[in-house]
Structure formats: C-alpha cells, structure tokens
Amino acid sequence: MVVPVYAQIVNTIREKINSGNLKPGDIIDSENALSKEFGVSRMTVRKGLAILANEGYIYSIPGKGNFVQNPDITKYTIYYNEMSNIINSVDKTKLLEVRIIMPDEKLMNSLQISRNKNVILIRRLFYTGGKPVAYDMKYLLYQRGMPIVEKEIQDATFPEMISKGKHPFSLRKELIIYAEIPDEGKKRLLNIYDNLALLVVEQKLLTQDHKPLGLGITYFRGDYIKLRGINQ
C-alpha cells in the first residue's frame, strides 16, 4: 500500500522526536525545506504538520516556525466502558427502574437545569458470572414526546443512549472517578457483606458548546473493575 506523502512527513518527524534526534524546544525544518525534501507542495507539508500538532508532538509560533513540544507527563488517556474493563466484562444487565423525576439541587447544578425541568432516571444492575458487580444510574434530559424503549436502554452504554439521532463526534465526555464506602442500600444490591469499597465513575455527556445532555453514575464493586490510563 502506498503511504501518502503527508503521512510520510508525519512518520519521519515523529520518529526523529521519539528517537531523541529532535528534543523539546528544537525547531522543525521549515515548510520550504520539507517541501523540497519530499517533493510536495507546502499545502501537503502543512497537512502533515497539522497532524503532528494535533497529536501533541509540535507547536507553532507565528513568524518563527514549528517546534518540538515538551510532553505533558501528567496527561493520560483513559479507556472507559461501563460494560467492559481490562479484567472483567458485564454479561447480563437487569433494568430496575425507568421513571421521570424532578431534579434535586445537586442534579440541577450538574445538568444546568431549572427545578421544573423533567429528568429521566434509569437504574440498572450489571452482572458478571451471575453475580452483581455494578449499580448504574443514568439521568437524561427529558424532551416532550421522547420515546423510552426499555429494551434499547437495558443493555446500552451511556453514549449509546444519548447518541441516538446525534452524530457521535458531536458529543463531549467528562469523567470523575473516586472511591466510596457503600451505604446499606448499595450493599444489598451488590451483595456486599464486608468493608469492600466501591469505585464510582461519574460520566457527563455534553454538546460541543458544553451544554449537558445527561449524567451517568456507576458504582462498581472494588474487586470487579480496573481502569488503565496511557500517556502518549
């Protein structure tokens, strides 16, 4: 397969950075120099440089050129799916409840809505090998005439619930992860009889202009889930 020239430019510069031949703060060859080296137009060179910038390898200073970016070692990409993680997967879901509620103060603030705005509450239990491993709650903004198809809701991930009728790339996602000691109600739901902690993942989905579309809170048994983050 023939590799496009812009991709060759990306691969060449990326390899120089990864190998240490180009270090943070070093200047990248000019667009003119790269055009001559690869025998392409400056437009093609700019396409390759834009990809490197989006990947965090380089940054641009107008009038001076492109420079190697100092990597952010505090930034990780976490892969999260409430139905699957690196040690376990959900093999059964149980829909506990679907109803329309009025938001409390906390929910109003989180979803940026008024008290008279209706919200759809969805509660589920997740099972692995016949054992309950997670208690899941979803809060969706209610729209008049909005169909609630329980069969579709039961096994769907949060983005799948929200993205119907929307382009997947139009959604923004935020995660908050923390530990919590379960109350008696959650202990009963998850068959916890000792001091096992929960890993709680709050997932908020928003529009591109940061307007909340829904909030999901999943309470995982601490012995069920493991998440991994990658620094690239």
DSSP-assigned letters across all residues of the chain: -PPPHHHHHHHHHHHHHHHTSS-TTPBPPPHHHHHHHHT--HHHHHHHHHHHHHTTSEEEETTTEEEEPPP-TT--EE--BTTB-SS-B--EEEEEEEEEE---HHHHHHHT--TT--EEEEEEEEEETTEEEEEEEEEEE--TT----HHHHHT--HHHHHHTTS-GGG-EEEEEEEEE---HHHHHHTT--S---EEEEEEEEE-TT--EEEEEEEEEETTT----EE--
**Given this model, what pLDDT does residue 169 score?**
64
What tens-digit pLDDT sequence spans the chain (232 residues)? 677 899 999 999 999 999 999 999 999 999 999 999 999 999 999 999 999 998 889 999 999 999 999 887 888 888 899 999 999 999 999 999 999 999 999 999 999 999 999 999 999 999 999 999 999 999 999 877 655 667 778 888 888 888 666 665 678 899 999 999 999 999 999 999 999 999 999 999 998 888 999 999 999 999 999 998 887 6
Q: Which of 68, 98, 114 is where one domain is finished?
A: 68
pLDDT of residue 145: 60
Domain match, 103 and 208 both: yes
Give pTM, 2 decimals.
Answer: 0.74
What's the confidence (pLDDT) of residue 167? 62
Domain count, the chain: 2
Examine the fold and report which residue of 68, 87, 119 is the final residue of a domain before the chain moves on. Answer: 68
Range of the domain at 205: 77-230
Assess whether 22 and 132 both reside in one domain: no
If asked whether residues 64 and 176 sit together in one domain, one would say no
